[in-house]
Amino acid sequence: MTDAPTGSFREILREIPTRPTEQPELRAADVPSDPLLLLRDWLEQEAERETPVAHAFALATVSPEGEPQARTVILKDLDDAVWFATPSTSAKGVALAHTPVAEAVFYWAKTGRQVRVRGSVAPAPRDVSEQDFRARHPKARAGVIIGRQGTELDDPSEVERLRDEALAAIEENPDEVPESWTAYRLEPDHVDVVQLRPASDGERVEYTRSEHGWSARDLWP
Ligand SMILES: Cc1cc2nc3c(=O)[nH]c(=O)nc-3n(C[C@H](O)[C@H](O)[C@H](O)COP(=O)(O)O)c2cc1C
C-alpha cells in the first residue's frame, strides 16, 4: 500500500458499511443435513426480500493453463446440483471441458451470508440446454447466436447490425438453438457457509460429502 494521494481512498474504503442485519445463529448442529437445502432456503429468503440479482454467483474455474478464472453467472435451478448455462465455446466452457470442477460463491450483503459450493461439473443432456435457451429473452439469445463472446470487437458499429440480424433469425426460426449453448450441473462435494453478524465475526459451517452422505462441522470463521 502506498501513502497519499491514495490515503483518502483508503479512508473511503474504511467507511464503507460492512455489517449486516441480525440473522439467526448458524451452527452445524442445527443446519439441514443437505447443504443445498440451506442454500435454497437462503435464496428464497433473498427473493422474499427482493434482493437484486440474488441468484447471481461467482463461478471459479481452472483454465487449461492452470490459471484461476472467476466470473458472475446466473443460477438456473437447484436440485441435487447447482445449474448454470453458458456457451461451451466461452473461456469457462473450455476450462470445464479440460478440468471439470468449479466453485460457486454466493454472497448477500444485507444478510451477511456467503455460500461456497465446490464439486464436479458436467454438461446436461442436450434437451435441457435447448429448453433453457428457448426460455431466454430474445436479446439474450441474440448474443449467443452472434457467438463472438470474448473475441475482439474491431468495430463497435457492428454490434447493432449483428444484433438485428440475430433477432431477425430468431423471429424466422424461434426454436433454433446454437450448438454451443450448454446447461451445466455442478454436483457439490464440499460446501462452506458463513453467517456474518453485526457485532462479531459470525459463524461458519463446513459440509463435506462421503459415501455415507453429508456431514457438517463448525469452523472458526
Ligand atoms: C449479473 C451477471 C450475470 C451473468 N450471467 C451470465 C450467465 O448466466 N451465463 C453467462 O455465460 N454469462 C453471464 N454473465 C457474463 C459473465 O460474467 C462473463 O462475462 C461471460 O460469460 C464471459 O465469461 P468467460 O469468458 O470467463 O467464459 C453474467 C454477468 C453478470 C454481471
Ligand 1 center to residue 177 CA distance, Å?
18
Q: Which three cell numbers mark 206?
A: 463446513
What residue segments make up the domains of the chain, in order of their start? Answer: 20-130+179-219
74 lines ligand 1 (CB under 6 A): yes
Write out the H or E segment, with its range, that includes residue 117.
Answer: strand 113-123
For residue 92, which atom of ligand 1 is closest to its CA?
Answer: 27
Query: What is the CATH number that goes with domain 20-130+179-219?
Result: 2.30.110.10
For residue 72, which atom of ligand 1 is closest to its CA?
Answer: 17
89 lines ligand 1 (CB under 6 A): no
For residue 53, which atom of ligand 1 is closest to its CA?
Answer: 1
Does ipTM top 0.90? Answer: yes
What residues contact residue 115 under an 8 Å CB cut-off, 6+ apart?
35, 38, 39, 42, 105, 106, 191, 192, 193, 194
104 lines ligand 1 (CB under 6 A): no
- Which one-letter DSSP state was computed for residue 178? -
Helices assigned H by DSSP within 71-191: 91-98, 126-134, 138-146, 158-172
Mind listing the pLDDT tens digit for each residue in 32-47? 999 999 999 999 999 9
Mind listing the pLDDT tens digit for each residue in 170-211? 999 988 999 999 999 999 999 999 999 988 889 999 999 999
Q: Is the pLDDT of residue 4 over 70?
A: no
Mind listing the pLDDT tens digit for each residue in 120-152? 999 999 999 999 999 999 999 999 999 888 889
Ligand 1 center to residue 80 CA distance, Å?
23
91 lines ligand 1 (CB under 6 A): yes
Contact 124, 184 (CB under 8 A): yes
